Chains A and B, each alone.
Chain A
């Protein structure tokens, strides 16, 4: 069944149709949330809240845009609100990563390697979390979620030119903040 038919059915109160919509988009919304919070439980909770919001505002969707775009816009706005609330409570600090030894020997066991990979990933996402929200948002949509420029334009309601320039600035800033972890000149740890 296509999105349109499912949505129309769900708008008429079809619970099974809404279940099908959720199953179709559940992973995408979860991954989007995970890209920002880097915690499975928190991302799951956010995804659930987003779908509750979708359920209660489904009647307001009039097929003026693609359903996916509409859904992602709601998701992005919800995540933005969440991040705003969280940032008031807790500032993400890079200090928590500073004592993590990341230089691994070639002979390390597989389990240790996996743990080390997780740590490296944590560092990158930890640094990402310290960026201004607009940079964090665009990097998550493009480099974590793999959205196309057109999709980002529609979801964030910004021009393609702005997507391009903001993305480049965000990548530059992320790289600059990652410098101590990248090895080479002055680098303390290798990511």
Chain B
């Protein structure tokens, strides 16, 4: 067995997965090769030290300490859940309010804004003073009085103006 092969089998032997025949070959080689024998010893030493890491005992009262920690985290968790939901609730409620306001504005009946007679006449590009001129030009006093009376109802233009 050459050193390279021996080194491969040394690594394999660390897991105990070495056939008896191979082990004998390896023993024979290590018996005559100081370098491979040292390599084998080194791995044995290192792995032995690593295994000592299993001997340490955990700190006492593991469960009571863990229990207290879990209860603390549970309280924190429920508070966090509430906080998370409240953070979501603020924009959601704002959206809901906006929706209601929009619905009210959309569904409420539109107010008919009626134009005054002069406005309507101006819009049609007509002279709003025509009627006033007619009043001045009227000769009959009764007719004039009647026209003045109707002119007092200027606040209700839609009733007076009939296109």
Contact = CB atoms under 8 A, between A and B. Distances in A.
Interface size class of chain A, counting residues whose CB lies under 8 Å from the partner chain: 35 or more
A22 B63 contact: yes
Given A52-B70, A171-B14, A31 B53 contact: yes
Contact of B50 (A43, A51, A143, A184): A143
A27 B59 CA distance: 10
Interface residues of B, number: 28
Contact of A44 (B14, B42, B59, B70): B59
Interface string B61-73: 0110111011001
Interface string B31-52: 0000000110011011101111
A34 B53 contact: yes
Given A175-B42, A178-B46, A184-B38, A144 B53 contact: yes
B49 A120 contact: yes
A-B CB proximity, top 5 nearest: A124-B49, A30-B58, A44-B59, A143-B50, A144-B53
Given A40-B59, A44-B58, A175 B50 contact: no
B77 interface: yes
A76 interface: no
A191 B49 CA distance: 9
Tell me whether chain B's interface is mostly helix, strand or loop, or mixed. helix
Contacts of B38: 184
Contacts of A172: 11
Contact of A47 (B52, B62, B77): B62
B88 interface: no
14 contacts: A19-B67, A26-B63, A30-B56, A51-B66, A51-B70, A56-B73, A120-B49, A123-B49, A124-B49, A139-B50, A144-B51, A145-B54, A146-B51, A171-B43
B53 A125 contact: yes
A85 B42 CA distance: 32
A31 B56 contact: yes
A23 interface: yes
Contacts of A19: 63, 67
B58 to A, nearest CB: 4
Given A22-B62, A23-B63, A56-B77, A48 B69 contact: yes
A146 B11 contact: no
Given A40-B58, A171-B14, A191-B49, 7 more contacts: A41-B59, A47-B58, A52-B69, A143-B51, A144-B51, A175-B39, A182-B42
